[in-house]
Amino acid sequence: MSRWPGGSQSGLREANTAKIVDAVKRFGGLTQVELAEATRLSTATVSAIVKELSLTGLVETHPTSRSGRRAQLVTIARRAGLVAAVQIGSRSMRVRLSDVGQDVLADRSMPLPADHAEDTVLDRITLLLIDMLAMIAADAEDLVGVCIAVPAPIDPDSGLIAYRGVMRRWEDQPVAEVVQQRLGCPVLVEKDANLAALAEATLGTARDVEDSLFVHASYTTSAGIVLGSRLYRGRSGTAGEIGHVQVDPSGSICTCGQRGCLETLVGAEAITAPLRATYGQVTFRDVIAQAASGDPGCARVIADAATLLGRVVAGVCQSVAPEVITVGGELVDAGPIFLLPFASAVREHAPHSRAARRDPVPTSFGKDAVLVGATIHILQSTDPSQLLEDRS
C-alpha cells in the first residue's frame, strides 16, 4: 500500500481509492457491498470511487447475483496490464499470462533436463514470454510484473537460493535481476510451496482462516506457511523446508549435505528406487499412476511415503498450529492411496492440533496452484498508485 499525504480531502480520497484497488486485486472481484465490508468504507464512498475508476478504465463492473440479490461485480479491467507467472519444476517449466483481473490469456509448458541450469532456462523463459505476448498482440511494456516460482527457498536479503545443493546450477544467480533487465518490468522470485499456500489462503480452501499450511509433495518436498493471513518465510526465508528435516541420521546423503533428510525418503528417487528390481526403470509418474490404479507394490511405497510425510507435517502442526492443511504436487494424483495414510499420520502424531480435526484436502487449484499464487503475489506487490498513474 502506498503512503498517501495526510490531512487533505484529496489525500484521503487517494488513500480510499488505493484501498479499493487493493481489495479488488487481492480477491479477484467483489461486489460493492463486499468492497465496503473489506475496506471498511461506506457504500456511498465505494460507489463513487468505483464510478471514477470505471471512467478511467482501471476497473470494470459486471452484473452478478450473490445471495439471491442482483449486484455489480467489480474487477480490475483487463487492459490495465498483464501479469506473467512462471513455474520452474524439477523436470519442466510452465509460463502463464493473465490480465490483472486474473483471467488467463495464455499458458504454455515445456520439459527441462533433470539438472537444468539457470542461464539456459532464463533464456527459454524470456523467449517463450515474448512469443506468448506476441500471440495476444501485446509486448513486454504491457507487463505489470513477473513472478518466478522455484523449488527452493529464497533468501529475502539477497534474492538468491537460500540452501546450497537444492538447485545446484542456480546458486549465486540473481534470477530476478537478470529477467528484469531483459523484460524491463518488476520481477519476483519465490518458493513454489509459498505461492501455492498464498493461493489457498487468498482464494482457496484456507480463505476463511488466518493460519494454514500447504504441503508440496512432488519430486521435491516442502511446505508453505500462512500465519495471520500472511506468508511466513522466516528471517532466512527457509521456513517450511520440511524436505530437509533429518528423519534418519544413518540415511542417504541429501543434496543439501545432510544425511537422511525427509526428501531422501519421500522424494521421486525414494519412491522409484525400491521398485526397480521388480518393475524395471519405472518413472515417478508411472509409480503414481499404477498406485492409483490399484497396483499393490506401487501403492505400498506411496503409502509408506505418505505416512512418513504425515509424521513430519504433524510436527509442523504442533509448532505453528494451522487450522487447515492443503496438499499439492504429483503425489496427490495417487488419490486415497496417498491422502488416507497421510491424514492418519497427522492425526496420530498431532492429535491436539486443530488441523488434525479435519482431513487434509487436495489443493483447490490442482496443477495450477503455484501459478495462481504467483499471479496473486505480483498483484499484491504492485503499488496501487502505479496502476492509477498508468491509467491517467
- Say if residue 305 is in the same domain as residue 180: no
Does 110 map to a domain? Answer: yes
Residue 282, number of CB atoms within 10 A of its CB: 18
Structural domain tally of the chain?
3
- Say if residue 63 is in the same domain as residue 102: no
Nearest to 173 by CA among 143, 144, 146, 148: 148
Which residues lie across from 271 on neighbouring strands? Answer: none
Sign of CA dihedral 20, 23, 29, 34: negative
Does 266 map to a domain? Answer: yes
pLDDT tens digits for 367-382? 999 999 999 999 988 7
Instruction: Say yes or no to pLDDT of 7 above 60.
Output: no
- Say if residue 221 is in the same domain as residue 182: no
Residue 161 to residue 175: CA distance in whole angstroms: 9
- Say if residue 52 is in the same domain as residue 98: no
- Say if residue 156 is in the same domain as residue 244: no
Arithmetic mean of pLDDT over the chain: 89
Does 2 map to a domain? Answer: no
Cβ 32 vs Cβ 43: under 8 Å: yes
The CA-CA-CA angle for residues 126, 130, 131, to 5°, reads 115
Burial of 220 (0-12, 13-18, 19+ CB in 10 A): buried
Instruction: Quote the pLDDT of residue 11.
Output: 78
Does 26 map to a domain? Answer: yes
Instruction: Quote the pLDDT of residue 67.
Output: 59
Q: What's 151-183 look like in SS3?
A: CCCECCCCCCECCCCCCHHHCCCCHHHHHHHHH
Who's near 3: CB < 8 A, 6+ residues apart?
A: none
Give residue 14's Cα distance to chain centre: 30
Residue 210 to residue 231: CA distance in whole angstroms: 10
> With bands split at pLDDT 50, 70 and 90, how would you rate the model's confidence at 113?
confident
- Say if residue 315 is in the same domain as residue 189: no
Instruction: Quote the pLDDT of residue 8.
Output: 66
Q: Does residue 123 or residue 13 have the better pLDDT?
A: 123
Residue 216 to residue 170: CA distance in whole angstroms: 21
Residue 238 to residue 235: CA distance in whole angstroms: 8
Does 4 map to a domain? Answer: no
Does 199 map to a domain? Answer: no
> With bands split at pLDDT 50, 70 and 90, how would you rate the model's confidence at 386?
low
Residue where one domain finishes, among candidates 20, 52, 76: 76
- Say if residue 327 is in the same domain as residue 221: yes
Does 200 map to a domain? Answer: no
Instruction: Quote the pLDDT of residue 66.
Output: 65
The CA-CA-CA angle for residues 339, 321, 305, to 5°, reads 30
- Say if residue 188 is in the same domain as residue 97: yes
Sign of CA dihedral 160, 118, 168, 254: positive
Question: Range of 171's domain?
Answer: 81-194+370-391
Which residues lie across from 88 on neighbouring strands? Answer: 93
Residue 284 to residue 287: CA distance in whole angstroms: 5
Instruction: Quote the pLDDT of residue 2.
Output: 41
Average pLDDT over residues 331-345: 97
Who's near 76: CB < 8 A, 6+ residues apart?
A: 21, 24, 25, 58, 59, 60, 99, 100, 101, 102, 387
Residue where one domain finishes, among candidates 56, 76, 96: 76
Who's near 143: CB < 8 A, 6+ residues apart?
A: 81, 82, 83, 84, 133, 183, 185
Instruction: Say yes or no to pLDDT of 136 above 90.
Output: no
Residue 49 belongs to a domain with what CATH number? 1.10.10.10
Sign of CA dihedral 355, 353, 373, 91: negative
- Say if residue 378 is in the same domain as residue 244: no
Instruction: Quote the pLDDT of residue 137.
Output: 80
- Say if residue 72 is in the same domain as residue 90: no
Instruction: Say yes or no to pLDDT of 9 above 90.
Output: no
pLDDT tens digits for 169-202? 898 899 999 999 999 999 999 999 999 999 999 9
Who's near 184: CB < 8 A, 6+ residues apart?
A: 140, 141
- Say if residue 190 is in the same domain as residue 296: no
Distance (Å) of CA 14 to CA 6, 19, 21, 77, 90: 10, 9, 10, 19, 44
Residue 132 belongs to a domain with what CATH number? 3.30.420.40
- Say if residue 288 is in the same domain as residue 345: yes
Instruction: Quote the pLDDT of residue 186.
Output: 94
Residue 331 to residue 308: CA distance in whole angstroms: 13
pLDDT tens digits for 58-104? 788 888 876 567 788 888 776 668 999 999 998 899 999 998 878 89
Instruction: Quote the pLDDT of residue 4.
Output: 40
Does 3 map to a domain? Answer: no
Nearest to 199 by CA among 130, 149, 265, 269: 149
Q: Does residue 295 or residue 31 have the better pLDDT?
A: 295
Average pLDDT over residues 34-57: 88
Report for 2-16, 24-38, 74-88, 265-279: range of highest mean pLDDT: 265-279
> With bands split at pLDDT 50, 70 and 90, how would you rate the model's confidence at 387?
low
Residue 75 to residue 82: CA distance in whole angstroms: 14
Instruction: Quote the pLDDT of residue 391.
Output: 47
Instruction: Say yes or no to pLDDT of 28 above 90.
Output: no
Give residue 364's Cα distance to chain centre: 12
Residue where one domain finishes, among candidates 76, 106, 133: 76
